[in-house]
């Protein structure tokens, strides 16, 4: 019989899919489709390795509780791994996080604590303060802290990087990814640099206004990428180039990926592909660009894929429209 013991055993080994419609130049642009992970995002990889590292170091013991301020993909990955291994999960999120996202975490059995958004980080009710307090109050609690945990980039050094090298038979010349914690680009980038003797170019994609592309953390709408501080998990020397992408371009390419490539993915995927297409203007037939797509698009149906939401920010454009929904003709 062909089966696995648990859904968490299927993390990693995601496919590469060539972008045929959006990338028509000489260079193949291959998308690493991370929504094929069982929890639906690239964060399954770090969840697994952070938990296993904490078990090995004794920080997380049988019957322990995982406490993390997260509302999204990392929470799902942690909840899935916790379920397999019998840990309790408590996630702390600000009240601006949609009810749908909180309900997904609860569906996996996690306890979600909602905190007010409209208080400063040092306020006792802020979600940073509450998660710190819960870690000290709950017996056997452990906080993964994805922004500082070395197991985050290590998971990519040991899985994402080797997969890309193997899947391209060593022909990859450019790797493009968005930067949030920086774990993906730092770990994957380090592996690809080492294995290619520095030949593979590492290109960070960043929302305009974020610190990685020289901004001060000005607000942008694309989710999961860009920061207003420099996390420990980001290797500042890893990128050969950083491409800043506007929200409008990120969302237009995200819509194009669904309509023209049948890839229903999140806004940070459109951002990364926008950067990859810019790189593809400068490369030739012997180059191979791999661009990582972190998650799927179903979590963004009321935003990127909603015409009213797009119009409210002035992003709606007939060139990037989807199909239509209407009454019986
Ligand atoms: N896109 C999305 C949707 C994410 O959730 C994240 C993680 N914050 C990223 C991109 C960036 O990945 P990393 O944290 O590894 O830099």
- Whether 275 and 296 have beta carbons less than 8 Å apart is answered as no
What is 185-210 written as a DSSP string?
HHHHHHHHHHHTTT-SEEEEEEETTS
Q: Is the CB of 146 under 6 A from ligand 1?
A: no
Q: Is the CB of 184 under 6 A from ligand 1?
A: yes
Q: Where are the alpha helices (DSSP H) in 41-88?
A: 43-57, 73-85
Catalytic residues: 43
Residue 72 has pLDDT above 90, yes or no: no
- For 86-103, what is the mean pLDDT? 89
Banded pLDDT at 100 (limits 50, 70, 90): confident
Q: How far is the CA of 2 from the centre of ligand 1 (A)?
A: 32
- pLDDT one-digit tens code per residue, 25-67: 999 999 999 999 999 999 999 999 999 999 999 999 999 999 9
pLDDT of residue 216: 85
Q: Is 155 in a helix, a strand, or coil?
A: helix
What does the alpha-carbon distance between residue 69 and residue 127 come to, in Å, rounded to a whole number? 7
What does the alpha-carbon distance between residue 38 and residue 10 come to, in Å, rounded to a whole number? 6
Q: Which atom of ligand 1 is nearest to the CA of 156?
A: 15
Q: Which residue is closest in CA terms to ligand 1's atom 3?
A: 224
Q: Is the CB of 270 under 6 A from ligand 1?
A: no
Q: Which residue is closest in CA terms to ligand 1's atom 11?
A: 180
* Model confidence pTM above 0.90: yes
What does the alpha-carbon distance between residue 105 and residue 91 come to, in Å, rounded to a whole number? 8
Q: How far is the CA of 178 from the centre of ligand 1 (A)?
A: 7
What does the alpha-carbon distance between residue 76 and residue 71 come to, in Å, rounded to a whole number? 9
- Whether 127 and 92 have beta carbons less than 8 Å apart is answered as yes
Banded pLDDT at 222 (limits 50, 70, 90): very high
Is ipTM strictly over 0.90? Answer: yes
Q: Which H or E run includes 40?
A: none
Q: Is the CB of 153 under 6 A from ligand 1?
A: no
Q: Is 105 in a helix, a strand, or coil?
A: helix
Q: How far is the CA of 226 from the centre of ligand 1 (A)?
A: 9
- pLDDT one-digit tens code per residue, 284-310: 999 999 999 999 999 999 999 999 999
Count how many Cα atoms sit within 13 Å of the Cα of residue 143 in the half-sphere of its side chain.
Answer: 19
> Which residue of 33, 184, 269, 273 sits with most ligand 1 atoms within 8 Å of its CB, as the best mutation to test the pocket?
184
3-state secondary structure 80-122: HHHHHHCCEEEEEEECCCCHHHHHHHHHCCCEEEEECCCCCCC
Residue with tokens 């929890």: 39
- Tell me the longest C-alpha to C-alpha distance in the chain: 63
> Which residue of 49, 160, 181 sits with most ligand 1 atoms within 8 Å of its CB, as the best mutation to test the pocket?
181
Query: Can you say how many angstroms the Cα of residue 110 is from the centroid of all Cα atoms in its chain?
Result: 20
Q: Is the CB of 39 under 6 A from ligand 1?
A: no
> Which residue of 68, 101, 178, 232 sits with most ligand 1 atoms within 8 Å of its CB, as the best mutation to test the pocket?
178
Residue with tokens 């949030």: 180
Q: Is the CB of 225 under 6 A from ligand 1?
A: yes
Q: Is the CB of 182 under 6 A from ligand 1?
A: yes
């Amino acid at each position: 019989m062909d089966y696995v013991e648990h859904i968490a055993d299927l993390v990693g080994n995601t496919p590469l899919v060539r972008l045929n419609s959006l990338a028509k130049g000489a260079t193949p642009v291959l998308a690493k489709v991370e929504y094929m992970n069982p929890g639906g995002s690239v964060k399954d990889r770090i969840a697994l390795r952070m938990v296993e590292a904490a078990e090995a170091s004794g920080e997380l013991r049988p019957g322990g509780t995982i406490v993390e301020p997260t509302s999204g993909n990392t929470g799902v990955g942690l909840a899935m791994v916790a379920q397999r291994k019998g840990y309790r999960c408590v996630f702390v999120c600000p009240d601006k996080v949609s009810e749908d996202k909180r309900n997904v975490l609860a569906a996996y059995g996690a306890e979600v604590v909602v905190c007010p958004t409209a208080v400063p980080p040092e306020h006792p009710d802020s979600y940073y303060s509450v998660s710190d307090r819960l870690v000290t109050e709950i017996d056997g609690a452990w906080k993964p802290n994805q922004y500082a945990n070395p197991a985050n980039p290590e998971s990519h050094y040991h899985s994402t990087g080797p997969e890309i090298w193997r899947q391209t038979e060593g022909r990859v010349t450019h790797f493009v990814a968005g930067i949030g914690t920086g774990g993906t680009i730092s770990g994957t980038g380090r592996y690809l640099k080492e294995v290619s003797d520095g030949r593979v170019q590492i290109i960070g994609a960043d929302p305009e206004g974020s610190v990685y592309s020289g901004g001060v953390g000005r607000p942008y709408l694309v989710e999961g990428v860009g920061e207003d501080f420099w996390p420990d998990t980001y290797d500042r020397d890893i990128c050969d180039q950083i491409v800043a992408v506007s929200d409008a371009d990120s969302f237009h390419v995200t819509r194009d990926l669904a309509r023209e490539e049948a890839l229903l993915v999140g806004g940070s995927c459109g951002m990364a592909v926008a950067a990859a297409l810019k790189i593809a203007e400068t490369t030739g037939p012997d180059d191979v660009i791999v661009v990582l797509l972190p998650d799927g698009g179903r979590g963004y149906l009321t935003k990127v894929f909603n015409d009213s939401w797009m119009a409210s920010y002035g992003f709606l454009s007939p060139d990037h429209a989807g199909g239509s929904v209407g009454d019986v003709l």
